């Protein structure tokens, strides 16, 4: 198992909150598997802001290019996985820090317009 890639300069959390975007170090037992989490319409506004902030950070840092999961938080990725963030390789290993992902730009722009139109951040 290789060391977890740390995305230098990527925000570690949503500013002013405890919503985590990255992990500090790899889990010695292996990466927490990525699992798509269902976003229900009744989610709290703070949770929605965290999703939008994370999408803004992903787009600002990676753009349309495929990216390695690295030190990105599995739980936070789970809220976007399978919709706005999708596997960029086949086969995809959801339990690997080396897994490649990419942003589905059309879906992400629809779900989080402020993350793309300059009104966020």
Residues 113, 83, 1, 65: is their CA dihedral positive or negative? negative
Where in 9-78 does DSSP place strands (E)? Answer: 67-68
Beta bridge partners of residue 72, listed in sequence order:
22
Does the pTM exceed 0.85? yes
What are 41-98's pLDDT values in tens digits?
999 999 999 999 999 999 999 999 999 999 999 999 999 999 999 999 999 999 999 9
Where in 6-87 does DSSP place strands (E)? Answer: 67-68, 85-87
Q: Tell how strand 67-68 and strand 85-87 pair up.
A: unpaired
Confidence category of residue 2, pLDDT binned at 50, 70, 90: low
Measure the CA–CA gap between 66 and 27, rounded to whole angstroms. 23
């Amino acid at each position: 198992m290789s060391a977890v890639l740390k995305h230098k300069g990527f925000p570690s959390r949503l500013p002013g909150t405890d919503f985590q975007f990255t992990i500090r170090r790899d889990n010695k037992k292996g990466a927490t598997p990525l699992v798509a989490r269902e976003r229900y319409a009744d989610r709290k506004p703070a949770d929605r802001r965290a999703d939008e902030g994370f999408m803004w950070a992903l787009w600002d840092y990676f753009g349309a290019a495929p990216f390695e999961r690295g030190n990105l938080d599995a739980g936070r990725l789970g809220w976007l996985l399978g919709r706005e963030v999708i596997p960029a390789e086949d086969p995809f290993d959801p339990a690997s820090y080396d897994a490649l992902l990419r942003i589905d730009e059309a879906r992400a722009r629809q779900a989080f317009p402020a993350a793309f139109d300059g009104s966020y951040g």
